[in-house]
Amino acid sequence: MRARAHVGPGRREARAWSGERGAAGMGEFKVHRVRFFNYVPSGIRCVAYNNQSNRLAVSRTDGTVEIYNLSANYFQEKFFPGHESRATEALCWTEGQRLFSAGLNGEIVEYDLQALNVKYAMDAFGGPIWSMTASPSGSQLLVGCEDGSVKLFQITPDKIQFERNFDRQKSRILSLSWHPSGTHIAAGSIDYISVFDVKSGSAIHKMIVDRQYMGVSKRKCIVWGVAFLSDGTVISVDSAGKVQFWDSATGTLVKSHPIANADVLSIAVADQEDSFVVGTAEGTVFHFQLVSVTSNSSEKQWVRTKPFQHHTHDVRTVAHSPTALISGGTDTHLVIRPLMEKVEVKNYDAALRKITFPHRCLISCSKKRQLLLFQFAHHLELWRLGSTVATGKNGDILPLSKNADHLLHLKTKGPENIICSCISSCGSWIAYSTASRFFLYRLNYEHDNISLKRVSKMPAFLRSALQILFSEDSKKLFVASNQGSLHVIQLLEGSFKHLHAFQPQSGTVEAMCLLAVSPDGNWLAASGTSAGVHVYNVKQLKLHCTVPAYNFPVTALAIAPNTNNLVIAHSDQQVFEYSIPDKQYTEWSRAVQKQGFHHLWLQRDTPITHIGFHSKRPMHILLHDAYMFCIIDKSLPLPNDKTLLYNPLPPTSESDVVRRRTAHAFKISKIYKPLLFMELLDEGTLVAVERPLDDIIAQLPPPIKKKKFGT
């Protein structure tokens, strides 16, 4: 009955829409609104800030390490997939912008930031590693182990080398900090802090931390973090909720700040040593500053200045960049809080950033079969979208004639996380890759049954892929390997044939992270993190051209049908259109650059992660970030800063003429958020995959309860 009731007005609506199609309407879509992508980001374990490159390394509890470029609009430009046994407990940058991590498997790992893989892993032979720090010069590494040993490693150009042990302590070393001069270190353990002389390797002081907190004696007091200042002060944070200042020369407690009823888990000091930040298990981040006791006096003292409550759960780690406080924890958000007094220009960069979702696409779709492939850390899920016969007007929820089906749950073998995955447009091929293995599956659909067959004997060079893409006709597979090469593979029924490998240009080993293929299958575009976009001719199997490099990394790529225009989105929110046949930017792109984007468009704080096209409307480009999707109609005038960029209200009262006059190229909708994926399935059908934050929070462990009354 309900379905029928919708038919009448729906038809009218459809007619009206087709009538004014050319005039003003961007069109009416049926949107498959998907909220069953059960993705939960892993909690953040460590952050490490590199001042020279202004990059931030973030490690998560599943072992994933992500690199954010703070200069490029906080874009997550690189990531290293996680590993079940490689739970990172510490992360640090050393000289020459090398990145190391250490974890509970007892290994120290160095990452290759060019090829995007693990360079090597080395056992420290001290049991699980709880802490690691680089020397002030960046040439030595110090790790604190479960067995109470502190081990010093020398960093050589291509590896690290064990040098010696410091005096062994009774219990595990949970935190380490190097004196800026490099002569002493402080090590936080259970119930005490040791100060070591680096030269002799012996402990010169042992500072016992009070277990009591507000009259309640805890069983143990764990020193979660220490920081050694150049004046000899050691700052410690512990599980009793205290921030304490110690004099390392005499080994005495100078000052104690009880700040939380729960553990204080992390500490980070600014390079100038005039401010530091601590994070607590209650989700609060406190800022401490060194301020003059009275105005005009040279005597200074540490004062707790600002509390921030941007987290709901444990703040496991904090970092202090020159202009911002950075924190992350169990609630999976990476929070970057600019310090207003340090920000010179009060522009949009001074706003708080909260990064929750990865800046890459975890979802691919088969347009022909209306399938969605979801990528999780250790499995893939294949879903078939439902259908409806009803129609309706804007905002209606249509009755489903068929619900969405969960077709397949594909679990990976081994401890490694999935790096990337893809489903072909016809739905009969699925490919995914981990750090060491590449998998290709052939799917057969017989009525409601699906059979899955793995294509065996993948060639040795297809060990690991950073990005996988099928051609539109599902006859070719493109694989970006982490050695910088691009493989073209021809797919046959149940087998494959390696056609060609585009080798990286001599001298570069930069891995390609993004791929796009033209719908006619002739062109392949590939982009790394810094160099320009390379366009290859697939028929002739040679490099066609390289789009000039731009200052900001590419966040999404796509090639338009028919025109073969390459649309490139960058992390500074610029969008370029480059004609592949003409080897130059298109007229429209030049016009956009000349006029500039609307200031609100440039102020969005999540990158565009996907670009799509409308097969019947060549003038339209669909793109989306986490909080909006936009259809750019190239035939309409561009908005200038005076026009309203985003108008959520339908023009009900206005006449068509007014509407046409105020219409501009950017049609934005913010209905679906957080939006992880959006694609045009056919002319009038969209699929939008949302992941509401509440659903993620519901799957996190409960936070520490705080009393509201009687405090």
Partner 1 sequence: MVNSHTLSKYTLLRGQEEKSVIQSFTASVDRKFISVMSLSSDGCVYETLIPVYPTDPEENQRVVSSLLLRAVVSGSAPSGVALTVLDRDHVAVLGSPLSASKECLSVWNIKFQTLQTSKELPQGTSGQLWYYGENLLMLHGQSLTVIPYKCEVSSLAGALGKLKHSHDPGIQVMPPFVNWEASQGDGLGSQHAEQPRRILRRRKIEVSSQPAVPPSKQLLTTIMKDSEKHIEMELRKFLAVKTPDFHAIVGDLVTGLLGRCQVEPSFCPRNCLVQLIQTHVLSYSLCPGLMEMAVKKTDVQLLQLCLQRFPDIPESVTCACLKIFLSIGDDSLHQAEIDMESVFDYGDSVQGDNVAAPVDVLQNGFSPEGDTCLSCCQEVPAKPQDAAAATPTCPVTPQRAALLNAILHSGYSEAFLLPHLKDIPAQHITLFLKYLYFLYLKCSENATMTLPGIHPPTLNQILDWICLLLDANFTVVVMIPEAKRLLISLYKFVKSQISVYSELNKIEVSFRELQKLNQEKNNRGLYSIEVLELF
**CA–CA separation, 361 and 610 (whole Å):** 7
449 binds partner 1 (CB under 8 A): no
Q: Which is nearer to partner 1, 23 or 249 (CB)?
A: 23
**CA–CA separation, 632 and 649 (whole Å):** 18
**C-beta of 675: minimal distance to partner 1 in Å?**
13
3-state secondary structure of 658: helix
DSSP assignment of 424-468:
-TTSSEEEEE-SS-EEEEEEEEETTEEEEEE-----TT-S-EEEE
Q: Do 425 and 366 contact (CB within 8 A), yes or no?
A: yes
**C-beta of 577: minimal distance to partner 1 in Å?**
21
Burial (CB < 10 A; 0-12, 13-18, 19+), residue 332, is: buried
Q: Which is nearer to partner 1, 22 or 395 (CB)?
A: 395
Piece in contact with partner 1 (CB under 8 A), picked from 98-106, 172-180, 189-197, 703-711 = 703-711
214 binds partner 1 (CB under 8 A): no
Subset of 368-387 contacting partner 1 (CB under 8 A):
386-387
**CA–CA separation, 307 and 284 (whole Å):** 7
- Rounding to the nearest 10 degrees, give the CA dihedral for residues 458, 419, 480, 360: 150
Q: Which of 396, 520, 572, 605 is the binder for partner 1 (CB under 8 A)?
A: 396
**CA–CA separation, 502 and 84 (whole Å):** 33
650 binds partner 1 (CB under 8 A): yes
**C-beta of 387: minimal distance to partner 1 in Å?**
8
DSSP assignment of 181-235:
TSSEEEEE-BSEEEEEETTT--EEEEEEPP-EETTEEPS--BEEEEEE-TTSEEE
Piece in contact with partner 1 (CB under 8 A), picked from 31-39, 89-97, 452-460, 470-478 = 31-39
Residue-wise burial string across 196-226, b where 16 or more C-beta atoms lie within 10 A, e elsewhere: bebeeeebebebebeeebeeeeeeebbbbbb
Size of the site for partner 1 (CB under 8 A): 43
Nearest by Cα to 494 from 443, 435, 545: 443
Piece in contact with partner 1 (CB under 8 A), picked from 78-86, 352-360, 663-671, 673-681 = 663-671
Q: Do 417 and 64 contact (CB within 8 A), yes or no?
A: yes
Q: Which of 31, 363, 560, 608 is the binder for partner 1 (CB under 8 A)?
A: 31
Q: Which is nearer to partner 1, 77 or 633 (CB)?
A: 633
Q: Which of 156, 272, 296, 394 is the binder for partner 1 (CB under 8 A)?
A: 394
**CA–CA separation, 195 and 228 (whole Å):** 10
Q: Which of 235, 556, 557, 686 is the binder for partner 1 (CB under 8 A)?
A: 686
Nearest by Cα to 54 from 349, 267, 283: 349
18 binds partner 1 (CB under 8 A): no
Q: Which is nearer to partner 1, 370 or 424 (CB)?
A: 370
Taking the mean position of all CA atoms in its chain, how far away is CA 355? 7
Q: Which of 215, 395, 507, 701 is the binder for partner 1 (CB under 8 A)?
A: 395
542 binds partner 1 (CB under 8 A): no
Piece in contact with partner 1 (CB under 8 A), picked from 302-310, 400-408, 463-471, 550-558 = 400-408
Q: Which is nearer to partner 1, 266 or 391 (CB)?
A: 391
Single-letter amino acid, residue 88: T
Q: Which of 1, 216, 397, 657 is the binder for partner 1 (CB under 8 A)?
A: 397
**C-beta of 633: minimal distance to partner 1 in Å?**
10
**C-beta of 237: minimal distance to partner 1 in Å?**
27
Please tell me the total number of residues recorded for the chain in this structure: 711
Q: Which of 23, 293, 400, 658 is the binder for partner 1 (CB under 8 A)?
A: 400
Residue in the block written with tokens 């006619």: 520
393 binds partner 1 (CB under 8 A): yes
**C-beta of 398: minimal distance to partner 1 in Å?**
5
Q: Which is nearer to partner 1, 494 or 648 (CB)?
A: 648
Query: Using only C-alpha atoms, what is the Rg of the chain?
Result: 28
Question: Where does this chain bind partner 1 (CB under 8 A)?
Answer: 17, 24-36, 386-388, 391-398, 400, 403-404, 631, 647, 650-651, 659, 667, 669, 671, 686, 694, 705, 707-710
